[in-house]
Amino acid sequence: MTMLAETITERRRQTRNSIYQYMFFSDTPHSKQEIAADLSLSLPTVHQNLTELIEAGLVRRDGTQQSTGGRRAMRLTIAENAHFAVGISVTEDSLRFLAANLRMHEIAYKKTSRLAINEIDDVGSLLADELEIFLDEYGLNRSKLLGVGIAVPAVFDAESQEIALAPTLRLKDINLHHITRHLHYPSYVSNDATSGGYAEWFTQPAQKNMAYLSLENGVGGAVHLNGAPYEGDNRRSGEFGHMCVEPNGLPCKCGKRGCLEAYCSAARISDDLGITLEDFFEGVALHNRTYEELWRDVLSHLAIGINNIRMALDCNVVLGGFLTQFIEPYLSELRQLAASLNTFESNSNYIKLCRYPKRASTLGVALYFIKEFMENI
């Protein structure tokens, strides 16, 4: 192919991609006229590209709408079930599988029964076997599967591709290849909180800068700056759980003392008191003094951590992870605590609650393949 022909082909691909992305990020279907006007393209160009996308099964008709002239204009949207991706979350006692379509809607979900992951010799075989069972159980068409993302509560060594630290899983020095080698599909491994932050950030495209603080049995996070994930030099950005919020404080699973994770993880509540989070928050609401004291201590250390993140990054701090579903009644108190620490601001409205408190990391790691697909059409 000549250079000129290549340029023309690439320009045509970009036009088709811009049309697809426009529809991908729209919540409502659009007519060809609307697409042409909004993207400043000619109607024949839009028509030709949409015809190709419809023939490829990637765009579909979605009813009709009355145009101003009285003629009915066809409305179009992406064919959300043309493909799907799978996210797998590995935690210390379970595997969670989630299949998401191109609209990032959950089409299947399964949590395995209790497992002790740190006692399993070959996590890779287990994942591959359980994945096949999941696909069969839900009748998912393997030919439509874009890829499999795996979210692990671990810090990776970027050079050796090994798990450098996984305090809650107690896995160390395992190569990522060990986890993915038996899978028959494209695969990707990511830190769980990074994946959760990715899901939150991707579904709110207007938010250019965002710090995500994940509160689960471990505490982690993710940073997105200028509309892109910021991973850091060693893929360790957003490791907010191991910021020191109390010198010589409570011991942390990482081996240090006084980390935010030691104070604000869901595990602190369930380990200290031996009760479920539901029971704990019921007790707090009923003013059980022991529960209330522990919760005040969690909130005050959380405020320190959040204020430090705000000071370092000057952006919204989105609280995620399963603990977040219980925080709303205490959000104004948390905001006041954080504001009282802040040098520049009298309110802390920059503290937000996440959209996906439950399955953010599993969805986020699947999203990796959906985004890749959407960008390369």
| Binding site residues, Zn ion, CB under 5 A | 242, 252, 254, 256, 259
C-beta closer to Zn ion: residue 219 or 374: 219
C-beta closer to Zn ion: residue 35 or 259: 259
Q: At closest approach, how far in Å is the CB of 85 from Zn ion?
A: 32
C-beta closer to Zn ion: residue 54 or 250: 250
User: What CA–CA distance (Å, rounded) separates 120 from 8?
Assistant: 53
Q: At closest approach, how far in Å is the CB of 239 from Zn ion?
A: 9
CB atoms within 10 A of CB 232: 12
User: What CA–CA distance (Å, rounded) separates 14 from 21?
Assistant: 10
Of the candidates 66, 50, 98, 33, the residue with the CA atom closest to the CA atom of residue 377: 50
Q: At closest approach, how far in Å is the CB of 324 from Zn ion?
A: 20
User: What CA–CA distance (Å, rounded) separates 244 from 242?
Assistant: 6
User: What CA–CA distance (Å, rounded) separates 215 from 104?
Assistant: 23
Q: At closest approach, how far in Å is the CB of 271 from Zn ion?
A: 15
Q: At closest approach, how far in Å is the CB of 217 from Zn ion?
A: 13
Q: What is each CA distance from 331 to 33, 227, 324, in whole angstroms?
A: 45, 26, 10
Q: At closest approach, how far in Å is the CB of 242 from Zn ion?
A: 4
C-beta closer to Zn ion: residue 250 or 341: 250
Task: Give the alpha-carbon dihedral of 251, 116, 170, 183, to 10 degrees.
Answer: -150
C-beta closer to Zn ion: residue 88 or 252: 252
Q: At closest approach, how far in Å is the CB of 321 from Zn ion?
A: 16
C-beta closer to Zn ion: residue 186 or 249: 249
Q: What is each CA distance from 137 to 84, 102, 128, in whole angstroms?
A: 16, 20, 14
User: What CA–CA distance (Å, rounded) separates 27 from 103?
Assistant: 9
C-beta closer to Zn ion: residue 40 or 248: 248
Q: What is each CA distance from 114 to 129, 168, 266, in whole angstroms?
A: 16, 15, 18
C-beta closer to Zn ion: residue 271 or 328: 271
Distance of CA 270 to the CA centre of its chain: 24
User: What CA–CA distance (Å, rounded) separates 81 from 27?
Assistant: 15
Q: At closest approach, how far in Å is the CB of 351 from Zn ion?
A: 22
Determine the residue type at 155.
V
